[in-house]
A and B are shown apart, each in its own frame.
Chain A
Amino acid sequence: MIIKRPTDIPSSEITPEAIYLRRRDFMRGSLAGIAAGLLPGSLMAEDSTAPAGQALTYSPVAADATDQGFDTREARTPYEHVTGYNNFYEFGMDKSDPAQYAGSLVTDPWSVEVSGEVEKPGAYALEDLLAKVQLEERIYRLRCVEAWSMVIPWVGFPLADLIRQLGPTSRARYVEFKTLYRPKQMRGQRSAFSTIDWPYVEGLRMDEAMHPLTLMATGLYGRSLPNQNGAPLRLVVPWKYGFKSIKSIVSIRFTEKQPQTTWAQIAPREYGFYANVNPQVDHPRWSQKTERRLPSTLFNPNRIDTQLFNGYGEQVAHLYQGMDLRKYY
């Protein structure tokens, strides 16, 4: 008779590898928690300065990439500001809310629903989508509709590469994207005072989506995206106002008709479907002629002139030939 000796450690006691690998995050989180208890919230902004996320493997931006708009010689906005100061209303209205509250978002597992006018619809696991593409670096200007701007080194892949593999049908004229709707982890979606009808929806015309500048980003500054910047998968359309570059994407739908996008629905007079950066077309409540390039300081506001198509006119102006940009703003 064999008496089976129980193993020393019951399996319920074994920490799964994924959690084990995150043990330092846990420690960092606890230390940050203790520090947060000791310091007033505003002083904790520093918390976001240490680069988080995994190091990514990607091809660095090519030396001649400036002509294509893939690179810029302008000074990059420091990591701490790119990740500590942005809009992601799913986590709150303040610029510091995303960095403060996006930690609650679980991005693994992640799946993207592909639907509409497409040959290969279905729910795709993020890993499967990423297995089909090559990551590369792009250094883009980002111009927010609120008249501030940054320069950000993204890591991602051309959206066109993904679209070609999904095989849109001939009826597909637009692409619609949706952000995750998960109020339990996204506190902004629970706010009773928001005018936004969740989930957040954005869209592009097919030729815009296929343009080589249009990037699906999975990282910035060489590391995977922090949650507050739209992890694990976000759009970056550098010639359009920032709100077009939708974050934390869970749905890609190919459509025949122009999608109803979130801001264009809330305030159609203020935000159009195209939302191309254009100093000649003011937002009804503020001027778009200039922008504050961040970081700015009290003694140097760093105000610069805004450029048509955010300076990418050479690459994208032909998409809008013959269109009245005042009408299709």
Chain B
Amino acid sequence: MAMAMTLSLTRKKQLLFGASLLPLLGFVVQQLVSGGGPDPGKDLVLLTGDWTIRMLLITLAVTPARRLLHKPQLLAYRRMLGLFTGFYAMLHFTAVMTYVVGWNWGRFLEEFSERPYMAVGILAWLLLLPLIATSNQWSLRHLRQRWNKLHKLVYVIAILGVVHVVWLVRSNYAEALVYALLTLLLLGYRLLPSRTARKHRAPVS
């Protein structure tokens, strides 16, 4: 505890950065140690997909955690978490294109038009791009109120992401249900009347 208290914010951010990379590092180590199993491409697609939705949910949990735990300083970590969502989403897209679609654009169009869960996933990914591009001080300063509006897109992305996951289930609904429930909770929390909002009429992001 005393240790944790003495860690500087920079050091804590470094730790979070390292922790966010662990799933990917674990995969790389597994490939090197065990040769990676017979279908590592598929494994990478699933791993990066799982961690996109998990990172997204963790990012969405920052705001409720700040209020419920009375730790407004948690805001300092939100951008990094959001960017890691983007990081895993980029890897996921690349892995799907490489191991499922084979960078065949005809096949890509077919998947996009014929398979709704693919379309939903790609749409969520596209909507993430402007959020990734504007996750910096410069954009925050120049977009002002519009930045808040733009980043509300994350709620739409979360819904699309969960739909994508649930639609993919072949037989086991357990994990998909957990994601869906957490998303409902985290988005539902935003609908609760906020005390600060009522008092100050300040925008809540």
Using a CB–CB cutoff of 8 Å, the interface residues on chain A facing chain B are: 42-43, 45-46, 77, 81, 84-85, 89, 93, 95-96, 146, 148, 191-196, 266, 282, 284-287, 289-290, 292, 294-298, 301, 303
Question: CB-CB < 8 A to B114: which residues of A?
Answer: 282
Question: CB-CB < 8 A to B42: which residues of A?
Answer: 148, 292
Q: How far is the CB of B27 from chain A (nearest CB, A)?
A: 10
Q: Is the CB of A93 within 8 A of B171?
A: yes
Q: Is the CB of B34 within 8 A of A85?
A: no
Q: Is the CB of B99 within 8 A of A301?
A: yes
Q: Confirm or deny: B133 has a beta carbon within 8 angstroms of a beta carbon on chain A.
A: no
Q: Is the CB of B172 within 8 A of A93?
A: yes
Q: Is the CB of A295 within 8 A of B38?
A: yes
Chain B positions 109 through 121: 1 when the CB is less than 8 Å from some CB of chain A, otherwise 0: 0110011010000
Q: Which of A195, A285, A303 contacts B173 (CB 8 A)?
A: A195
Q: Is the CB of A303 within 8 A of B102?
A: yes
Q: Is the CB of A77 within 8 A of B171?
A: no
Roughly how many angstroms separate A195 CA and B174 CA in the complex, as a whole number? 10
Roughly how many angstroms separate A165 CA and B129 CA in the complex, as a whole number? 65
Known pairs A286-B115, A287-B111; A294 contacts B38 (CB<8 A): yes
Question: CB-CB < 8 A to B189: which residues of A?
Answer: none
Q: Confirm or deny: B148 has a beta carbon within 8 angstroms of a beta carbon on chain A.
A: no
- 8 Å CB contacts to A: which residues of B22-41? 26, 30-31, 33-34, 36-41
Q: Is the CB of A84 within 8 A of B37?
A: yes
Q: Is the CB of A193 within 8 A of B38?
A: no
Q: How far is the CB of A2 from chain B (nearest CB, A)?
A: 66
Roughly how many angstroms separate A284 CA and B170 CA in the complex, as a whole number? 12
Roughly how many angstroms separate A95 CA and B38 CA in the complex, as a whole number? 10
Q: Confirm or deny: B168 has a beta carbon within 8 angstroms of a beta carbon on chain A.
A: yes
Instruction: State the majority secondary structure of interface residues on B.
Output: helix
List 17 A-B pairs, Cβ < 8 Å: A81-B38, A84-B37, A84-B38, A96-B37, A146-B170, A148-B39, A193-B172, A195-B173, A196-B171, A284-B115, A285-B117, A285-B167, A287-B110, A294-B38, A295-B38, A296-B38, A296-B39
Using a CB–CB cutoff of 8 Å, the interface residues on chain B facing chain A are: 26, 30-31, 33-34, 36-42, 44, 98-100, 102, 107, 110-111, 114-115, 117, 167-168, 170-174, 177
Q: Is the CB of A297 within 8 A of B34?
A: no
Roughly how many angstroms separate A89 CA and B172 CA in the complex, as a whole number? 10
Question: CB-CB < 8 A to A84: which residues of B?
Answer: 37-38
Q: Which of B34, B44, B172 contacts A46 (CB 8 A)?
A: B34
Question: CB-CB < 8 A to B171: which residues of A?
Answer: 89, 93, 194-196, 266
Roughly how many angstroms separate A197 CA and B33 CA in the complex, as a whole number? 38
Q: Is the CB of B39 within 8 A of A295?
A: yes
Q: Is the CB of B107 within 8 A of A85?
A: no
Q: Which of B36, B170, B172 contacts A191 (CB 8 A)?
A: B172
Q: How far is the CB of A167 from chain B (nearest CB, A)?
A: 37
Known pairs A193-B172, A195-B173; A298 contacts B40 (CB<8 A): yes
Q: Is the CB of A85 within 8 A of B117?
A: no
Known pairs A193-B177, A292-B42; A45 contacts B107 (CB<8 A): no
